[in-house]
Amino acid sequence: MALRGVRVLELAGLVPGPFCGMVLADFGAQVVRVDRTGVRGGTSYLARGKRSLALDLKRPRGAAVLRRLCARADVVLDPFRAGVMEKLQLGPEILQRENPSLIYARLSGFGQLGRFSRLAGHDINYLALSGVLSKLGKSGDKPCAPLNLLADFGGGGLMCALGIMMALFERTRSGKGQVIDASMVEGTAYLSTFLWQTQEMGLWEQPRGQNMLDGGAPFYTTYRTADEEFMAVGAIEPQFYELLIKDK
Protein backbone atom coordinates (compact mmCIF):
# COMPACT_ATOMS: atom_id res chain seq x y z
CA MET A 1 0.00 0.00 0.00
CA ALA A 2 1.33 3.42 -0.97
CA LEU A 3 0.93 5.02 2.48
CA ARG A 4 2.07 2.08 4.59
CA GLY A 5 3.89 3.37 7.67
CA VAL A 6 2.44 6.89 7.49
CA ARG A 7 0.99 7.78 10.90
CA VAL A 8 -2.06 10.05 10.89
CA LEU A 9 -3.94 11.63 13.79
CA GLU A 10 -7.45 12.62 12.75
CA LEU A 11 -9.27 14.93 15.15
CA ALA A 12 -12.91 13.90 14.99
CA GLY A 13 -15.22 16.27 13.15
CA LEU A 14 -18.00 16.36 10.59
CA VAL A 15 -17.86 14.34 7.38
CA PRO A 16 -15.10 16.10 5.34
CA GLY A 17 -12.38 15.27 7.88
CA PRO A 18 -13.40 11.65 8.46
CA PHE A 19 -13.65 11.13 4.70
CA CYS A 20 -10.14 12.51 4.24
CA GLY A 21 -8.85 10.20 6.97
CA MET A 22 -10.65 7.24 5.41
CA VAL A 23 -9.01 7.89 2.04
CA LEU A 24 -5.58 7.89 3.71
CA ALA A 25 -6.43 4.69 5.62
CA ASP A 26 -7.66 3.00 2.45
CA PHE A 27 -4.20 3.48 0.95
CA GLY A 28 -2.37 2.05 3.94
CA ALA A 29 -1.90 4.91 6.42
CA GLN A 30 -2.17 4.15 10.13
CA VAL A 31 -5.02 6.47 11.09
CA VAL A 32 -6.01 7.09 14.68
CA ARG A 33 -9.20 9.09 15.19
CA VAL A 34 -9.15 11.28 18.29
CA ASP A 35 -12.71 11.53 19.60
CA ARG A 36 -14.09 13.87 22.22
CA THR A 37 -14.83 12.22 25.53
CA GLY A 38 -18.47 11.47 26.17
CA VAL A 39 -19.44 11.53 22.48
CA ARG A 40 -20.65 8.38 20.77
CA GLY A 41 -21.22 7.56 17.10
CA GLY A 42 -21.24 10.48 14.67
CA THR A 43 -18.36 9.60 12.37
CA SER A 44 -18.25 5.80 12.81
CA TYR A 45 -19.64 5.35 9.28
CA LEU A 46 -16.38 6.75 7.87
CA ALA A 47 -14.10 4.89 10.27
CA ARG A 48 -12.97 2.13 7.91
CA GLY A 49 -9.41 1.08 8.66
CA LYS A 50 -9.00 3.40 11.64
CA ARG A 51 -8.33 3.00 15.33
CA SER A 52 -9.67 5.49 17.85
CA LEU A 53 -9.17 6.95 21.28
CA ALA A 54 -11.01 9.59 23.30
CA LEU A 55 -9.35 12.70 24.74
CA ASP A 56 -10.62 15.85 26.41
CA LEU A 57 -8.41 18.42 24.69
CA LYS A 58 -9.75 21.20 26.90
CA ARG A 59 -7.99 19.63 29.88
CA PRO A 60 -4.21 19.84 30.23
CA ARG A 61 -3.82 16.07 30.52
CA GLY A 62 -5.71 15.44 27.27
CA ALA A 63 -3.80 18.14 25.39
CA ALA A 64 -0.51 16.73 26.69
CA VAL A 65 -1.38 13.27 25.38
CA LEU A 66 -2.15 14.67 21.94
CA ARG A 67 1.16 16.57 21.89
CA ARG A 68 3.04 13.38 22.67
CA LEU A 69 1.20 11.58 19.88
CA CYS A 70 1.92 14.41 17.43
CA ALA A 71 5.62 14.23 18.28
CA ARG A 72 5.67 10.78 16.62
CA ALA A 73 3.07 11.38 13.90
CA ASP A 74 3.50 12.23 10.23
CA VAL A 75 0.15 13.99 9.76
CA VAL A 76 -2.39 15.66 12.02
CA LEU A 77 -5.80 16.47 10.55
CA ASP A 78 -7.50 19.52 12.09
CA PRO A 79 -11.19 19.90 11.09
CA PHE A 80 -11.94 22.97 13.21
CA ARG A 81 -12.46 26.64 12.36
CA ALA A 82 -9.56 29.09 12.54
CA GLY A 83 -8.20 29.70 16.01
CA VAL A 84 -9.72 26.69 17.79
CA MET A 85 -6.52 24.66 18.04
CA GLU A 86 -4.47 27.75 18.94
CA LYS A 87 -6.73 28.32 21.97
CA LEU A 88 -5.87 24.81 23.11
CA GLN A 89 -2.14 25.46 22.62
CA LEU A 90 -2.19 22.82 19.87
CA GLY A 91 -1.66 24.97 16.79
CA PRO A 92 0.92 24.23 14.10
CA GLU A 93 3.52 26.62 15.52
CA ILE A 94 3.72 24.61 18.74
CA LEU A 95 3.35 21.11 17.31
CA GLN A 96 5.83 21.65 14.48
CA ARG A 97 8.35 23.11 16.89
CA GLU A 98 8.28 19.76 18.68
CA ASN A 99 8.12 17.77 15.42
CA PRO A 100 9.46 19.76 12.43
CA SER A 101 8.51 17.00 9.98
CA LEU A 102 4.84 17.06 11.00
CA ILE A 103 2.30 17.83 8.26
CA TYR A 104 -0.50 19.89 9.79
CA ALA A 105 -3.58 19.68 7.59
CA ARG A 106 -6.30 22.23 8.34
CA LEU A 107 -9.66 21.44 6.73
CA SER A 108 -12.36 24.08 7.15
CA GLY A 109 -15.18 25.71 5.25
CA PHE A 110 -13.73 29.16 4.70
CA GLY A 111 -10.02 28.68 5.30
CA GLN A 112 -7.79 30.20 7.96
CA LEU A 113 -7.87 33.81 6.76
CA GLY A 114 -10.57 36.36 5.97
CA ARG A 115 -13.74 37.61 7.62
CA PHE A 116 -15.56 34.27 7.27
CA SER A 117 -12.74 32.13 8.71
CA ARG A 118 -14.26 31.86 12.19
CA LEU A 119 -17.85 31.33 11.01
CA ALA A 120 -19.71 28.02 10.86
CA GLY A 121 -21.21 26.73 7.63
CA HIS A 122 -22.28 23.68 5.68
CA ASP A 123 -21.80 22.23 2.20
CA ILE A 124 -24.54 24.36 0.62
CA ASN A 125 -23.01 27.58 2.01
CA TYR A 126 -19.56 26.76 0.65
CA LEU A 127 -21.07 25.68 -2.66
CA ALA A 128 -22.89 29.01 -2.96
CA LEU A 129 -19.83 31.14 -2.20
CA SER A 130 -17.73 29.15 -4.67
CA GLY A 131 -20.14 30.18 -7.45
CA VAL A 132 -20.91 26.59 -8.43
CA LEU A 133 -24.39 26.49 -6.91
CA SER A 134 -25.55 29.11 -9.42
CA LYS A 135 -24.92 26.56 -12.19
CA LEU A 136 -26.90 23.69 -10.68
CA GLY A 137 -30.62 23.10 -11.01
CA LYS A 138 -33.50 22.90 -13.47
CA SER A 139 -34.43 25.62 -15.94
CA GLY A 140 -36.66 28.24 -14.35
CA ASP A 141 -36.27 26.76 -10.89
CA LYS A 142 -34.12 27.63 -7.89
CA PRO A 143 -30.50 26.42 -7.68
CA CYS A 144 -30.28 22.92 -6.22
CA ALA A 145 -27.31 21.40 -4.38
CA PRO A 146 -26.34 17.84 -5.46
CA LEU A 147 -26.53 16.31 -1.97
CA ASN A 148 -23.45 17.35 0.03
CA LEU A 149 -20.96 15.80 -2.37
CA LEU A 150 -19.22 18.76 -3.99
CA ALA A 151 -17.99 20.89 -1.08
CA ASP A 152 -17.82 18.38 1.78
CA PHE A 153 -16.30 15.49 -0.14
CA GLY A 154 -14.85 16.79 -3.43
CA GLY A 155 -13.69 20.30 -2.57
CA GLY A 156 -13.06 19.43 1.07
CA GLY A 157 -12.02 15.93 2.08
CA LEU A 158 -10.55 14.81 -1.23
CA MET A 159 -8.70 18.08 -1.88
CA CYS A 160 -7.25 17.92 1.61
CA ALA A 161 -6.08 14.35 1.00
CA LEU A 162 -4.38 15.54 -2.20
CA GLY A 163 -2.65 18.32 -0.26
CA ILE A 164 -1.41 15.80 2.30
CA MET A 165 -0.05 13.57 -0.47
CA MET A 166 1.86 16.47 -1.99
CA ALA A 167 3.21 17.52 1.40
CA LEU A 168 4.40 13.97 2.06
CA PHE A 169 6.17 13.97 -1.31
CA GLU A 170 7.78 17.37 -0.66
CA ARG A 171 8.99 16.16 2.72
CA THR A 172 11.06 13.46 1.01
CA ARG A 173 13.15 16.32 -0.41
CA SER A 174 13.24 18.86 2.42
CA GLY A 175 12.60 16.72 5.48
CA LYS A 176 10.21 19.40 6.70
CA GLY A 177 6.50 19.36 7.34
CA GLN A 178 3.92 21.71 5.86
CA VAL A 179 0.80 23.53 7.00
CA ILE A 180 -2.08 22.80 4.62
CA ASP A 181 -4.98 25.27 4.51
CA ALA A 182 -7.76 23.33 2.76
CA SER A 183 -10.83 25.56 2.32
CA MET A 184 -14.01 23.93 1.06
CA VAL A 185 -15.03 27.15 -0.71
CA GLU A 186 -11.74 27.37 -2.58
CA GLY A 187 -11.53 23.62 -3.17
CA THR A 188 -14.99 23.60 -4.76
CA ALA A 189 -14.12 26.63 -6.88
CA TYR A 190 -10.99 24.80 -8.05
CA LEU A 191 -13.06 21.75 -9.02
CA SER A 192 -15.23 24.03 -11.16
CA THR A 193 -12.33 25.44 -13.19
CA PHE A 194 -13.73 23.90 -16.37
CA LEU A 195 -17.01 25.81 -15.96
CA TRP A 196 -15.34 29.20 -15.92
CA GLN A 197 -12.63 28.42 -18.47
CA THR A 198 -15.23 27.39 -21.06
CA GLN A 199 -17.57 30.37 -20.71
CA GLU A 200 -16.67 31.62 -24.21
CA MET A 201 -17.07 28.22 -25.88
CA GLY A 202 -20.87 28.37 -25.82
CA LEU A 203 -21.29 25.56 -23.31
CA TRP A 204 -22.87 27.76 -20.65
CA GLU A 205 -24.22 30.79 -22.50
CA GLN A 206 -27.85 29.91 -21.76
CA PRO A 207 -29.56 30.21 -18.36
CA ARG A 208 -29.17 27.40 -15.83
CA GLY A 209 -30.69 24.13 -17.01
CA GLN A 210 -30.74 25.11 -20.69
CA ASN A 211 -27.19 24.23 -21.70
CA MET A 212 -25.75 21.12 -23.27
CA LEU A 213 -24.35 19.57 -20.09
CA ASP A 214 -26.91 20.66 -17.50
CA GLY A 215 -30.07 19.05 -18.85
CA GLY A 216 -30.85 21.44 -21.68
CA ALA A 217 -30.00 19.03 -24.50
CA PRO A 218 -32.18 16.01 -25.42
CA PHE A 219 -29.10 13.85 -25.90
CA TYR A 220 -27.65 14.57 -22.43
CA THR A 221 -30.37 14.34 -19.82
CA THR A 222 -32.63 11.90 -17.96
CA TYR A 223 -35.96 10.43 -19.00
CA ARG A 224 -38.78 8.67 -17.21
CA THR A 225 -39.27 5.14 -18.48
CA ALA A 226 -42.44 3.12 -19.05
CA ASP A 227 -41.94 1.23 -15.77
CA GLU A 228 -41.84 4.52 -13.82
CA GLU A 229 -38.09 4.38 -13.35
CA PHE A 230 -35.52 6.67 -14.97
CA MET A 231 -32.67 6.36 -17.43
CA ALA A 232 -29.71 8.59 -18.16
CA VAL A 233 -28.78 9.44 -21.75
CA GLY A 234 -25.37 10.74 -22.74
CA ALA A 235 -25.03 10.68 -26.53
CA ILE A 236 -23.08 13.85 -27.31
CA GLU A 237 -21.15 12.61 -30.33
CA PRO A 238 -23.13 12.53 -33.61
CA GLN A 239 -22.53 8.83 -34.21
CA PHE A 240 -23.85 7.93 -30.78
CA TYR A 241 -26.84 10.24 -31.11
CA GLU A 242 -27.67 8.59 -34.42
CA LEU A 243 -27.68 5.20 -32.74
CA LEU A 244 -29.88 6.58 -29.96
CA ILE A 245 -32.63 7.78 -32.26
CA LYS A 246 -32.37 5.00 -34.81
CA ASP A 247 -35.64 3.16 -35.22
CA LYS A 248 -34.99 -0.50 -34.53
CB 3 within 8 A of CB 70: no
pTM value is 0.91
pLDDT score of 93 more than 70: yes
Residue percentage of the chain with pLDDT more than 70 = 97
Q: Rounded distance, CA 71 to CA 53, Å?
A: 17
Pick from 223, 235, 147, 154: nearest CA to 187? 154
CB-based contacts of 190-193 (< 8 A; 24+ apart in sequence) = 190/155, 190/159, 191/132, 191/150, 191/154, 191/155, 191/159, 192/130, 192/131, 192/132, 192/135
CB 222 within 8 A of CB 231: yes
CB 117 within 8 A of CB 111: yes
pLDDT, tens only, 203-233: 888 999 999 999 999 999 999 999 999 999 9
pLDDT (average), residues 91-104: 97
CA distances from 38 to 19, 44, 87, 160 (A): 22, 15, 21, 28
Q: Which pLDDT score is estimated for 141?
A: 93
pLDDT, tens only, 165-185: 999 999 999 999 999 999 999
Instruction: State the Cα angle at 78 between 73 and 80, rounded to 5°.
Output: 160
Residue 150, classed as helix, strand or coil, is helix
> What residues are annotated to the active site?
122, 152
Q: Rounded distance, CA 20 to CA 155, Å?
A: 11
